[in-house]
A and B are shown apart, each in its own frame.
Chain A
Amino acid sequence: MNKTLFFASLKANWKLLLGTFLVLAMYQSVIIGMYDPESIEAMNALIKAFPEGMMSAFGYNLPANDLTSHMGTYLYGFLMLLFPLMYVVPAGNNLMAKHVDRGSMAYLLGTPNTRIRIARTQAVFFVSSTLLLFVSVVLFGMLVSEALFPGELNYGDYLLLNLVTVSVYMVLCGIAFLASCVFNESRRSIMAGLGVPGLFLIFKMMSSASEQLDGLKYATLFSLIDVHGIFGHSGYALLTSGILIGAAVLLFILSIRIFDRRGLNI
């Protein structure tokens, strides 16, 4: 780990991080604000009024009987899967591929720091900043829930849901970082870093929307963020997260190794 580089990366990416947090915080406030224990029936009726496939594509197919399910349905069906990409994709590219593409990597490698140390520092920054984003979002969600509907949030389920979500995101970070370490051009690194989670999201929406396409759920990590499976089943959540985090660690190790060994046209 190199502190100097860590803080330079923070300085280069904090606006992106803050912007993403604000977008997520805004959606959280709106969705939590929409929860109305009195009119759950009306809400469910409204959903039924839309074509079933369309609503379930966005994950809005659960009868949301309480605040936690309400958030699980309306936030973690789509919004919380999509918007963190706003940070993860560009930041992943900024940390490695952009420096190679622009040539500024030459200044990093021209200092007495091994490539492994440079890449490891960037990886640590990437993981810790993404974790910071999720922790902030989770805390903010709790804060808003307590402010608007005191005592309604089921902390256990809420935390398990977020644990699985953040673990999926660790893998997505690993993919974005791998792309950033492998490619010489920002264009390609972004295409891969955005393309893979983009496909995951499309597969998830298609598999939820149509019975025939149900099999696509096996082709996307996002189907692991399954509110039915997670709520009340800490075993499933912990096991899934453990496997995902293991996969993420492997992706980061692979990325750093590839970056250490490959030729860089800088």
Chain B
Amino acid sequence: MIEIQQLTHVYPGGKGIFDLDFTLREGEVFGYLGPNGAGKTTTIRNIMGFVNAQKGRVMIRGLDCRRDTAAVQKFIGYLPGEIAFFDNMKGLEFLKFVGDMHNMTDTRLRDSLIERFELDASGSIRKMSKGMKQKLGIIAAFMHDPDVYILDEPTGGLDPFMQNVFMDLIKQEKARGKTIMFSSHIFEEVQRSCDRAGIIREGRLAAIEDVKSLNAMKSREFIVTLAAKKDVLNLLASGLETERLDEKKVLVRVARNFDDFIRTLSAFGVTNLDIRQRSLEDIFMNYYGKKGNGHE
């Protein structure tokens, strides 16, 4: 569906993206994850055809994203990462303007989105809060009912309630067969809503993986507090994957062998048992043998 082919775009400072090569499938929600400055927006600028890559290209439905921009934009809904509008306009006026630029005639979807996001679009854009502007951008991206969404940090500036409204919208659009790519630097967001995730760091694709299989791969970590020192040593020697945290606390990593774990523990005097949830990011990074500091 969206093919990113050997895409290389280097800025004068030496930053940029290098040899990105991956494909988004029709109908999937793809999370594009990475710290600020990793190259997410640069990738998106190339998908949108705003910039000229030094090497490689992006194709959507066989169309070249840089050359055939007008044809590609017909079925793309785009949310820029930086909020910038025509600040001499009012909210609704802006939506009308963008709608007209899309030759959009049916305004029902637009109006239902305004209602859904509880946006008061009557006021001047200049006076809107960051969250309101973000809603306005989301509505502008979704209102012409495109097949493909390219969303740059879509939940930025939204409060948790509106983030949920947005996530529901993503689910609904996925159910309608839309292809969605959104970038984020928040792991949970991608974990919650995506089929697949790609991690980019320093301009290179560090990992691309099925979110479901990653979730399945996810092991549990237990922090066991024991009464006796002797038991601590026995637990460490038990053959389970363990790590001593302090005098009486031992971390046990359990993937499938819960039975072994419980049987082993039953022999000891356990005073406390805590579960430590590992983030998907840890797993991602462990899996690929990289240290993760992508969370901001």
Contacts and interface: CB of A to CB of B under 8 A. Distances in A.
Do A and B come from the same complex? yes
A102 B101 contact: no
Contacts of A107: 80, 85-86, 98, 101, 140
A103 B50 contact: no
A264 interface: yes
Interface of B: 45, 48-52, 69-71, 73-74, 76, 78, 80, 82-89, 97-98, 100-103, 140
Contacts of B74: 112
A3 to B, nearest CB: 8
Interface stretch (A5-13, A26-34, A122-130): A5-13
Given A11-B88, A107-B85, A112-B103, 8 more contacts: A4-B100, A103-B82, A106-B80, A107-B80, A107-B140, A112-B102, A265-B51, A266-B80
A112 B75 CA distance: 9
A11 B97 CA distance: 12
Interface residues of A, number: 26
A110 B73 contact: yes
Contacts of A108: 101
A262 B48 CA distance: 14
Given A106-B50, A264-B51, A112 B70 contact: yes
Given A107-B98, A264-B50, A265-B45, A117 B86 contact: no
A104 interface: yes
Contacts of B82: 103
Interface string A241-266: 00000000000000000000111111
Interface of B is mostly: loop
B45 A266 contact: yes
Nearest to B80: A106
The 10 closest A-B pairs by CB, nearest first: A103-B84, A111-B101, A263-B51, A4-B100, A110-B78, A106-B80, A114-B70, A112-B74, A112-B73, A102-B84
Given A114-B70, A115-B69, A106 B103 contact: no
A104 B73 contact: no
B50 A111 contact: no
Contacts of A114: 69-70
A183 B202 CA distance: 28
Given A4-B101, A112-B70, A106 B78 contact: yes
A8 B97 contact: yes
21 contacts: A2-B101, A4-B100, A4-B101, A8-B89, A12-B88, A103-B80, A103-B84, A104-B84, A107-B86, A108-B101, A111-B98, A111-B102, A112-B73, A112-B101, A112-B103, A117-B70, A262-B52, A263-B51, A264-B51, A265-B50, A266-B45
Contact of B48 (A4, A8, A102, A106): A106
Nearest to A108: B101
Contacts of B76: 110
Q: Which of A5, A109, A115, A117 has the most CB of B within 10 A?
A: A109
Contacts of B89: 8
Q: Which of A102, A104, A117 has the most CB of B within 10 A?
A: A104
Contacts of A102: 84, 87
